[in-house]
Amino acid sequence: MPNQATARARESDIVSRLASFFPGATPVRIPIKLSRHTGNGHGNGNGDGDRSAHENKTVFFQDTVIEFGTPREVLFVVDRPLDFADSVLLESKDGSLHAEGAVVAVQYKPEWTVVAVRFLKPVPNWIVKS
């Protein structure tokens, strides 16, 4: 069984492959709490009064580490599948990041899912570019 450092290096390498598709992606290594929005939360827009179509709950998904980031996206590994367009909430352990996003890219691996999430709104002071 590989040690934790070896496993972490392998995860970072896997994420770096997806990061190559995101110009300006920078290694960041920020521990986060990842939550997932359940329900569609967007409604169907037809005004039919279906209350369940408008409900949206945020449920803890797992702790992970943002491996790479751009001003608009974050890339990380999870040990359960997320799908394209899934809605998530990202919160850093120190509270400096609290942002909603949507999954914009996914690479499925046997042991992990590599995910890119795009923020739904601009996040001030997330990554400062010169």
Average pLDDT over residues 74-100: 93
Q: Do residues 83 and 103 touch, judged by C-beta distance below 8 A?
A: yes
- In DSSP notation, 67-93 reads EEE-SSEEEEEESS---TT-EEEEEET
pTM tops 0.85, yes or no? no
User: Which tokens sit at 45?
Assistant: 């827009």
Residue range 99-120, pLDDT digits in tens: 999 999 999 988 889 999 999 9
Residue range 1-57, pLDDT digits in tens: 455 555 555 667 889 999 999 999 999 999 999 999 886 544 333 333 444 444 668
The confidence score (pLDDT) of residue 46 equals: 34
The confidence score (pLDDT) of residue 3 equals: 58
CA distances from 56 to 33, 40, 42, 52, 116 (A): 18, 6, 8, 9, 22
